[in-house]
Chain A
Amino acid sequence: MARISRTIGIKSNVPTSSMADIAFLLLIFFMVTTIFKMEEGLPVTLPRAEAGQRVPRQKVAHIWVMNASNITIDDNYISMVDIVPIMAAKLADDPALVVGLNIDQAVPWEIASEVIEMMKEAQTLNASFTTDMEKKG
C-alpha cells in the first residue's frame, strides 16, 4: 500500500484586519473635528508685524474693512454706525469677546480710528489688530 505523507503547513500571519478599523477611526475623528472657515471676509491686504501673537479663533469676532464703504461683519455689508449694535449683541453673547480688526493696510487712519471709536461705543474693548506674520521685507 502506498504511503501518503502530507504535511499541512499552517501559515502564520499577523492579523491586519483591525488595522483598517483603526485607520478609519482616525480618519473619521479628523473629519469630525475639522472646523471649516465659514466666514469669507473681504480680500484685504493685512499689514505685517513681527510682534503679532496667536489669537484664539473661537473668541474672535471679525470686522473686515477694505475702505469706508466696504465694511463687513459675518459676511454682511454694514455701514460704520451698524458696528455698535452688532458688536454690542456679540458682546452680550460672549463677555470675553475679542474683536479682530482685519483692516486693509492702505485704509486711511481716519477710517480705521472711526471703527475703533465704534468699538468703544459698543464696549467691545478687547481689540486685536490682525496682522500677517511674515517677516518685514
Chain B
Amino acid sequence: MAKIHRIRPPEEIPDSAMADVAFLLLIFFLATTTIAEEFGLSLILPAKSQKNQAIQVNRDNVMVISTDPTGTTYYVDGVPTELKQIKPLVETRKASNDKLVVSVEPDRRAPYRSMVDILDELKLAGASRISLKTRRQ
C-alpha cells in the first residue's frame, strides 16, 4: 500500500494585521497633528535716524489716521470716522494721489488693537506707504 505523506502547511506568523496597526497609527498622527501657522501684518520699519535725517513729506500727500484714548473712535485727518470707512477713504485718496503717505498715529493710551485695526484696513486698501508714529518721535 502506498504511503501517504501528509503535507504540512508552512508555519508563519500572521503579519497582515501589522499593516493595519501601522496605518492606524499613521492616520492617528496625521489627523491629530496641527501645523502651527502664524499670521501677521508685516511692516518694514525705518532705520533709526538722526533728527536732521528725517524725511520731508509734502503735507498734501499725508493722510493722518488717529484714535481717541479709548481706541474706539477713529479720526481721518481730524474727522471722526468709522473703522470700516477707512479702507474706501484710503482707496479714494490713493487713486488721486499715488504719493500718498498714511500716517498712523494712535493715542498713546489707546490699546494696541486699535493700531492693528487701522493697519489691517490700510493693508486691505493696498496702502504701501505707511508711517507709524511711535512714542519717541
A110 touches B44 (CB 8 A): no
B129 interface contact, C-beta 8 A: no
**Cβ of B30 and Cβ of A100 under 8 Å apart?**
no
**Which of the residues B4, B112, B135 comes within 8 Å of A106, measured between beta carbons?**
B112
Known contacts A4-B2, A47-B117, A106-B111; decide if A54 and B38 are in contact (CB<8 Å). Answer: yes
Known: A55-B38, A117-B134, A121-B48. A50 touches B18 (CB 8 A): no
Q: Are B134 and A52 in contact (CB under 8 A)?
A: no
Known contacts A52-B39, A120-B48: A109-B25 contact under CB 8 Å: no
Q: How many residues of B contact A (CB 8 A)?
A: 51
* CB within 8 Å: A-B pair count: 165
Considering the chains assembled together, what is the distance between the CA atoms of A22 and B111 in angstroms?
53
The chain B residue sitting closest to A51, CB to CB, is: B123
Contact between A116 and B45, CB atoms less than 8 A apart? yes
Q: State A111–B111 Cα separation when bound (angstroms).
A: 10
Contact yes or no, B26 A57, CB < 8 A: no
**Extra inter-chain contacts (13) besides given A23-B25, A27-B25, A47-B112, CB under 8 Å:** A19-B22, A30-B29, A37-B36, A47-B117, A53-B42, A55-B40, A100-B40, A108-B112, A113-B133, A113-B136, A120-B45, A128-B38, A133-B37
Residues of B whose CB lies within 8 Å of any CB of A are: 1-2, 4, 7, 15-16, 18-19, 21-23, 25-26, 29-30, 33, 36-48, 71, 106-117, 119-120, 123-124, 132-136
